[in-house]
Amino acid sequence: MSSDRRLERVEAFQPLRPVPRRRLIVRVVIAPLIWVAALVVAAVIVEQSFAIQLGLIVAFAAVAVSFVVLSLFRSLRDRERRRDVVRR
């Protein structure tokens, strides 16, 4: 390889803009409502309301457990950040 060969100039990395908080909240609220509406429509069409109810119960339980676990992780992370600030 010759030493006179060079790579082309590379553009600097520019991250995408973060999603606005309002849009995030709307997505968090609207998305589950759309899923519930879809499940209700499926229950009416298929006439298997018990299976749909069981699915909803499992889904809500999973959301509740994940909320608790993620809240715990966040509080632990925040505590560690505060501890690191005190050490510096």
Question: Would the pTM of this model clear 0.75, i.e. be above it?
Answer: no
List all residues 6 or more positions away from 40 whose beta carbon is below 8 Å from its beta carbon.
52
pLDDT of residue 20: 87
3-state secondary structure of 62: helix
Q: Any idea where the domains of the chain sit in the sequence? A: 21-87
Query: Each residue of 8-67: pLDDT tens digit?
Result: 788 888 878 888 888 888 887 888 788 778 877 877 787 777 877 788 788 888 888 888
* Per-residue pLDDT band at 72 (split at 50, 70, 90): very high
